[in-house]
Amino acid sequence: MSMHLHRSTKTRTLRSAGASRCKYCGTPIEWFERYDALMIPLTNEFPSRRIPATLRWHVEQGIAYPGTDASNSYCRIPHPAICPAVARTEKHPPAIEELVRLLAVRMRTAIEKGEFTPYVEPVTPEEVESPEPERQHPVRHVIGYGGTLRIGPCAIEDLQCIARDRRTQQRCEAPVCDLSEGRWEKVSINEEQVAGRLGQMVLNLTRGTIWAWNVADFNIAVRWWRQHCHEHHTSPEPDHVKCEIIPFHPLRHHDYILTERPAGETPDPATTVVVHEGPPTRTHCSTPSCSNTSVVEHPESWVCHACEKRERKRQLVHRRWVRPPDETPGPGPAS
């Protein structure tokens, strides 16, 4: 059976595929595609008047946008902001704190009844909003555009399209990579994200810059970030699996940082200065006081154009002021 999305929607995420539960607290969430091609987990709708403006999100044609819809008095909340498993330093308004306490009680109750087993690794809001892909390779490349960095599950040349093939109803096997759409460049990392001892180690290692595959066009960046091949970039079919490209964080992904150009990649000729040393041997002018040379092979008696011109001028002057021997007048007639 083939499923199609409505022509008015701007997303490829089916609602049945977007429904999930937080692996840290077990709260039901819905994944929506954001306006910048990322994914975000949102809660159910709440009255906007009780939610701070910074936490308000709304959904329009399947895409999540910050703020409240003008025609609706309800909004959604990003789940990482209220996840009870996340340790926070700032305090929310009383209404939000009460919601976090209710979710914490529900989480502990589910754990005691054996209905839920939480993920035990340290939790941060970034990990809740952008979980790591299930399959990760030893080498993971960073894809950048306009200072925004995202990291894939593998090297760019191994990146596979996540769309569903209409013929086989399986995941598309076409690659995402197109080497004509970008180049390897040094990009700056967000130094506000590198705090603590590990952050200092990352700064000492990278000096604030890393190597990333950088594209210059937004439409190309969207195709890469959504992990689609050229054929499925505008296809109305829903994706076969979730996108595996997530926002890059210097501390979470410090093991994959590239401080040198990837091996086997040739420098871009537009940004590379080539020094030409010339041919190995040159022919020098035979005039002792001349330093001119030629790349063409000549005999050892070769004279450069400047010296030849100078010699012709010297001979012309000599003819003008010195009388040749055959022109010397002989003795006059005898008287």
**% of the chain surpassing 70 pLDDT:** 81
What the block records as the tokens of 295 is 């790349």
Whole-angstrom distance, CA of residue 197 vs CA of residue 40? 30
Q: Is the pLDDT of residue 7 over 70?
A: no
238-270 pLDDT, tens digit per residue, is 788 888 888 888 888 888 888 888 865 555 555
- What was the pLDDT predicted at 287? 86
CB-CB neighbours of 99 under 10 Å? 20
Q: What is the pLDDT of residues 49-90, one digit of tens each?
A: 888 888 889 888 888 888 887 777 888 999 988 888 887 777
The token duo for 71 is 């025609």
Confidence check: pLDDT of 116 > 60: yes
Q: How many CA atoms lie within 13 A of 180 on its CB side?
A: 1
What's the confidence (pLDDT) of residue 268?
Answer: 53
Question: Tell me, what's the pLDDT at 335?
Answer: 46
Question: Is pTM beyond 0.75 here?
Answer: no
Q: How much of the chain exceeds pLDDT 90, in percent?
A: 1
Check pLDDT > 70 for residue 91: yes
pLDDT at position 105: 92
CA atoms within 13 A on the CB side of 259: 10
Tell me if 42 sits within 8 A of 82, measured CB to CB. no
Question: Which range (39-48, 61-70, 189-198) has the least confidence?
Answer: 189-198
* 35-46 average pLDDT score: 83
Which whole-number Å values give the CA distances from 202 to 18, 127, 141, 152, 236, in the listed order? 35, 19, 17, 20, 42
